[in-house]
């Protein structure tokens, strides 16, 4: 029986790992530092992390646009794993008995005491929202034959951030904040996130053009298996 021809070597990319690292960094910082603080600025009430969390969606758009859904899927799973580890580490650090006379245990519990609930809500919302975002962008790219990048990035963010927000804020803060505050922050943050995507569009264009040129890649997801439960590329 004739032997099977060897598989071609997998593509390697110069900047893929760097974009993955940036994505995970933004995700962790936005969720652990900014998610639980409510701020008011110019009469608007919003979660402080909203100023930074949408950057992760920009990176998600860039990954899907340049490298395709399957490679973006690996980055989503990397972010998911990083958040699980952050929650586990927070639990362990808070559980260690403080040294006699160390005065900051109460402060640590105040800042990180809600980590399990916040990260649990964030994991569910992130998982659903990021995959909706990547799926929508990949499908719109096929439908537009690669034209109208602005429509893909903004349209996918409208869908992904809506799913994320509708899941995250009720799960994370219902019963802690008042119902009116949950709804106010949810819809204000959603509007700000979509607005951020619009503002970031010129930068997204520049980064996408740079990566496509340097990586010699502009992936179209024809025949892609869009299941989120895979790490195959």
* Residue range 156-206, pLDDT digits in tens: 999 999 999 999 989 988 998 899 999 988 998 899 889 999 999 999 999
The pLDDT value recorded for residue 116 is: 73
The pLDDT value recorded for residue 233 is: 82
At residue 213, does pLDDT exceed 80? yes
Q: Where are the domains of the chain?
A: 16-40+49-94+108-215
- Continuous segment of H or E residues that includes residue 2: none
The pLDDT value recorded for residue 149 is: 97
pLDDT tier at 225, thresholds 50, 70, 90: very high
The tally of CA atoms less than 13 A away on the side-chain side of residue 167 is 19
The pLDDT value recorded for residue 72 is: 97
Q: Which residues pair with 45 in a beta bridge?
A: 40
The pLDDT > 90 percentage for the chain reads 63
Handedness of CA 25, 29, 35, 40 (dihedral sign): negative
Alpha helix locations (H) across the chain? Answer: 16-29, 54-67, 69-95, 105-112, 115-143, 149-173, 179-215
């Amino acid at each position: 029986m004739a032997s099977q021809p060897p598989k071609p070597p997998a593509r390697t990319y110069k900047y893929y790992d760097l974009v993955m690292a940036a994505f995970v960094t933004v995700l962790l910082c936005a969720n652990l530092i900014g998610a639980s603080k409510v701020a008011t600025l110019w009469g608007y009430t919003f979660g402080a992390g909203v100023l930074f969390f949408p950057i992760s969606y920009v990176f998600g758009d860039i990954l899907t646009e340049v490298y395709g859904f399957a490679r973006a899927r690996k980055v989503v799973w990397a972010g998911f794993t990083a958040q699980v580890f952050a929650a586990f580490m927070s639990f362990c650090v808070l559980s260690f008995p403080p040294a006699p006379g160390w005065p900051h245990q109460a402060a640590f519990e105040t800042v990180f005491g809600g980590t399990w609930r916040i990260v649990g809500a964030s994991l569910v919302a992130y998982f659903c929202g990021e995959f909706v975002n990547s799926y929508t962008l990949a499908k719109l790219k096929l439908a537009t034959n690669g034209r109208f990048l602005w429509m893909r990035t903004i349209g996918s963010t409208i869908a992904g951030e809506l799913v994320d927000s509708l899941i995250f804020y009720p799960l994370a803060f219902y019963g802690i904040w008042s119902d009116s505050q949950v709804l106010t922050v949810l819809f204000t943050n959603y509007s700000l996130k979509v607005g951020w995507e619009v503002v970031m569009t010129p930068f997204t264009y520049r980064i996408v053009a740079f990566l496509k040129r340097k990586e010699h890649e502009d992936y179209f997801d024809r025949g892609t298996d869009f299941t989120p439960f895979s790490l195959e590329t």
